[in-house]
């Protein structure tokens, strides 16, 4: 099968096409013929030797954790899927899933049935970013109707899904983005959009119950100023979370980092929101698998609206 591989860590140019054996599913696993693979910041961080590179070990390796496709074989004991089913998932994270490939094998519970309303490309854009938003807002922060949440980078991969999930749970949602993206945010149902380039968000925003920070660094620390006394900071760029959590502790504020986990139940919750027309997936651009380096270059600019996806 065709697979994107890298023999060294480094810039996008280290990504190259290679060949590998088609993997066989073990008991409880399914094999998915991949139609599309989502691209996430952790992919280019890992490619460069950060992100999950320490988990995966030295190259050669293949990045990519978001896949959508068709079940091609099932291992002994699998009851939830049959050959031919359309599925999507975020297998194996943070171990190597090798999602930038024609076939992936993984435990069946790392997948869910693809909602009929989503194309394979849209479904490949949803798992990692959607599960991050779901697990953060719902499992960790227990976001409730009527609460106020500020989402940083609200137009990005995680952000645009977090805005919709928070709205679906009845929250009042504020998001930061450059002004050109505000029409998109209003289209997604946001209550207030803040142009972080024109004004300091901590002066523009009334106190909130939760900040979902997708930027880190000084944005995470400044976010402590917009929290209500019982409020909470959820800081997702993992490398930034330690400093933000320490700064919050000094001020007696709750702050948490988290790392998204494979979660078939969470995928089904996302699929339900899609079916109910309360969650849309925005795909900014697609690239053929062979052009993975171009997708990484585009993503690393840091200004994507929605998601980038590889077609396989």
State which of positions 159-178 bind ligand NAP (CB under 6 A).
Answer: 159, 176-178
| Shortest distance (Å) from residue 196 CB to ligand NAP | 4
* 100 scored as a contact of ligand NAP (CB under 6 A): no
| Shortest distance (Å) from residue 291 CB to ligand NAP | 18
Pairing of strands 86-89, 66-74: antiparallel
* 157 scored as a contact of ligand NAP (CB under 6 A): yes
- For ligand NAP, give the closer residue by CB, 158 or 174: 158
| Shortest distance (Å) from residue 194 CB to ligand NAP | 9
Alpha helices in 188-237 (DSSP H): 201-204, 217-223
Distance CA 16, CA 121 (A): 22
| Residues constituting the chain | 312
Quote the tokens at residue 115: 């909602």
Distance CA 302, CA 156 (A): 9
Choices 35-43, 113-121, 226-234, 243-251 (CB under 6 A): range interacting with ligand NAP = 35-43
152 — phi, psi (to 5°)? -85, 145
* 266 scored as a contact of ligand NAP (CB under 6 A): no
* 299 scored as a contact of ligand NAP (CB under 6 A): yes
- For ligand NAP, give the closer residue by CB, 86 or 273: 273
State which of positions 112-151 bind ligand NAP (CB under 6 A).
Answer: 129, 132
* 156 scored as a contact of ligand NAP (CB under 6 A): yes
- Binding-site size, ligand NAP (CB under 6 A): 31
CA neighbor of 300 nearest in space, from 5, 15, 35, 6: 15
State which of positions 192-251 bind ligand NAP (CB under 6 A).
Answer: 196, 214-215, 219, 236-238
Q: E-assigned strands of 178-297?
A: 192-195, 208-213, 227-235, 254-257, 283-288
The alpha carbon of residue 8 and the mean position of all alpha carbons in its chain are separated, in whole angstroms, by 25
* 305 scored as a contact of ligand NAP (CB under 6 A): yes
Contact 193, 154 (CB under 8 A): yes
Residue from 96, 108, 147, 304 touching ligand NAP (CB under 6 A): that is 304
* CB neighbourhood size of 182 (10 A): 18
Residue found by looking up tokens 């991050």 in the block: 132
| Shortest distance (Å) from residue 137 CB to ligand NAP | 13
The residues of the shown chain that bind ligand NAP, judged by CB under 6 A, are: 40-42, 129, 132, 152-153, 155-159, 176-178, 181, 196, 214-215, 219, 236-238, 258-260, 299, 302-305
């Amino acid at each position: 099968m065709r697979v994107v591989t890298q023999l060294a860590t480094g810039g996008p140019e280290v990504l190259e096409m290679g060949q590998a054996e088609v993997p066989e599913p073990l008991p409880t696993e399914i094999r998915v013929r991949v139609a599309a693979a989502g691209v996430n910041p952790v992919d280019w961080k890992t490619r460069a030797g950060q992100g999950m590179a320490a988990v995966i070990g030295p190259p050669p390796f293949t990045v990519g954790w978001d896949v959508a496709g068709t079940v091609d074989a099932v291992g002994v004991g699998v009851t939830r899927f049959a050959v031919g089913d359309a599925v999507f998932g975020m297998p194996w994270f943070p171990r190597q899933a090798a999602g930038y490939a024609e076939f992936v094998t993984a435990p069946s519970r790392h997948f869910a049935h693809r909602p009929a309303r989503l194309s394979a490309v849209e479904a490949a854009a949803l798992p990692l970013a959607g599960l991050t938003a779901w697990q953060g807002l719902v499992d960790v922060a227990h976001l409730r109707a009527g609460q106020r949440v500020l989402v940083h980078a609200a137009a990005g991969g995680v952000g645009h899904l977090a805005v919709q999930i928070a709205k679906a749970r009845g929250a009042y949602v504020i998001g930061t983005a450059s002004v050109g993206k505000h029409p998109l945010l209003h289209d997604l149902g946001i209550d207030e959009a803040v142009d972080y380039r024109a004004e300091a968000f901590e002066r523009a925003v009334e106190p909130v119950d939760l900040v979902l920070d997708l930027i880190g660094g000084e944005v995470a620390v400044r976010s402590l100023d917009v929290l209500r006394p019982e409020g909470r900071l959820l800081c997702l760029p993992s490398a930034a979370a330690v400093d933000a959590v320490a700064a919050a502790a000094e001020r007696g504020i709750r702050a948490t980092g988290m790392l998204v986990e494979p979660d078939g139940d969470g995928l089904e919750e996302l699929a339900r929101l899609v079916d109910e027309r309360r969650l849309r997936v925005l795909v900014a651009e697609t690239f053929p698998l062979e052009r993975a380096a171009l997708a990484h270059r585009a993503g690393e600019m840091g200004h994507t609206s929605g998601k980038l996806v590889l077609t396989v």
